[in-house]
């Protein structure tokens, strides 16, 4: 092995009460990569991201980020270390304005100048948010909320961005737009771990991918190879 990976999950187990949700996951994400995690509903994809963010605690195994063990770090401190999550269902603060949502993304930061700069960048990237800056986030469309959720995560200035089903419930055209934004963000230097049910898109943008089935990783490898794999084709790409 050369350089240590940015994110390293080692034999990660997670339980929800009696339910064994993750059964010894091993996964790495290298600096600068886009890695996709695909699988059916309930396979444990979101659970993996939630464990990385510290929202749920691992029952055993370890998570390290930049070589540092973060398994026991509380969720609000994980963000400070440089891991942002765009959660499933966007979870924007619907009672707050677009601007306030973005400002909350920068909640952990004190560098007023940098925050201002990042806010301008986010608004340049998503002109639709600029148009609705004073509007309450609950009034945005699904696509706009997804942009807001991504913008909000960018405001934390993450090294690693976790995206949970960013295409969910969006029209095909919007899905394309969101994915090209994800690629842009990656090209500008943010590493990405992407969870998707839309396996086709997920394998297109990623360099490597993992396939998760009922809490276990059953396949992994370069995304292009997985896209050609007969089992993957049958199960996730519609034959």
Partner 1 sequence: MQDLLQQLLNGLSQGSIYALIAVGYTMIYGIIQLINFAHGDVIMVGAYVALGAALMGFGFIPSLILAMITCAILGVVIERVAYRKVRPVSRLAALTSAIGVSLFLQYTMMYFLGADIRSFPADILPERTYTLGGVIVTNKDLLVLGTTLVLVIILQFIIFRTRTGKAMRAVSFDGQAAQLMGINVNYTVAFTFFIGSAMAAAAGMLYGICFNVQPLMGLMPGLKAFIAAVLGGIGSVPGAMLGGILLGMTESLVAAFGGSMYRDAVAFIILILILLIRPTGLLGKGVQEKV
Give me the residue label for tokens 């269902």.
Answer: 89
Least CB distance from residue 83 to partner 1, whole Å?
9
167 forms part of the interface with partner 1 (CB under 8 A): no
Give me the residue label for tokens 């790495």.
Answer: 28
Cα separation, 220 vs 209, in Å, equals: 6
**Chosen residue from 46, 145, 190, 198 binding partner 1 by CB under 8 A:** 145
Least CB distance from residue 55 to partner 1, whole Å?
6
142 forms part of the interface with partner 1 (CB under 8 A): yes
**Chosen residue from 69, 77, 120, 188 binding partner 1 by CB under 8 A:** 77
CB atoms within 10 A of CB 171: 12
Q: Which is nearer to partner 1, 55 or 218 (CB)?
A: 55
> Which ranges of the chain would DSSP assign to H, the alpha helix?
45-53, 75-81, 98-105, 112-125, 127-131, 142-154, 172-187, 199-205, 223-228, 230-236
Per-residue interface string for the shown chain with partner 1, residues 187-226, x marking contact by CB under 8 A: ----------------------------------------
Cα separation, 63 vs 53, in Å, equals: 10
Least CB distance from residue 143 to partner 1, whole Å?
10
227 contact partners, CB below 8 Å, separation of at least 6: 200, 203, 204, 233, 237
Contact positions vs partner 1 (CB under 8 A):
53-55, 74-77, 79-80, 84-85, 87, 89-96, 100, 103-105, 107-108, 138, 142, 145, 152, 156, 169
């Amino acid at each position: 092995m050369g350089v240590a990976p940015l994110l390293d999950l080692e034999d990660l187990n997670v339980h929800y009460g009696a339910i064994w949700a993750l059964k010894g996951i091993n996964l790495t994400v290298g600096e600068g990569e886009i890695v996709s995690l695909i699988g059916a509903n309930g396979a444990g994809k979101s659970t993996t991201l939630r464990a990385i963010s510290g929202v749920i605690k691992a029952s055993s195994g370890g998570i390290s980020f930049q070589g540092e063990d973060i398994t026991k770090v509380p969720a609000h401190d994980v963000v400070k270390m440089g891991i942002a999550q765009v959660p499933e269902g966007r979870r924007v603060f619907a009672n707050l304005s677009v601007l306030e949502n973005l400002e909350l993304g920068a909640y952990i930061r004190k560098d007023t100048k940098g925050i201002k700069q990042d806010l301008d960048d986010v608004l340049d990237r998503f002109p639709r948010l600029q148009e609705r800056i004073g509007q309450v986030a609950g009034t945005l469309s699904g696509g706009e909320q997804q942009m807001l959720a991504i913008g909000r995560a960018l405001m934390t200035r993450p090294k690693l961005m976790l995206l949970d089903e960013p295409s969910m419930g969006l029209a095909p055209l919007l899905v394309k737009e969101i994915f090209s934004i994800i690629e842009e963000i990656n090209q500008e230097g943010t590493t990405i771990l992407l969870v998707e049910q839309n396996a086709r898109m997920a394998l297109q943008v990623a360099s490597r991918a993992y396939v998760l089935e009922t809490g276990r990783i059953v396949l992994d490898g370069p995304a292009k190879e997985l896209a050609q794999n007969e089992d993957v084709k049958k199960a996730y790409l519609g034959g």
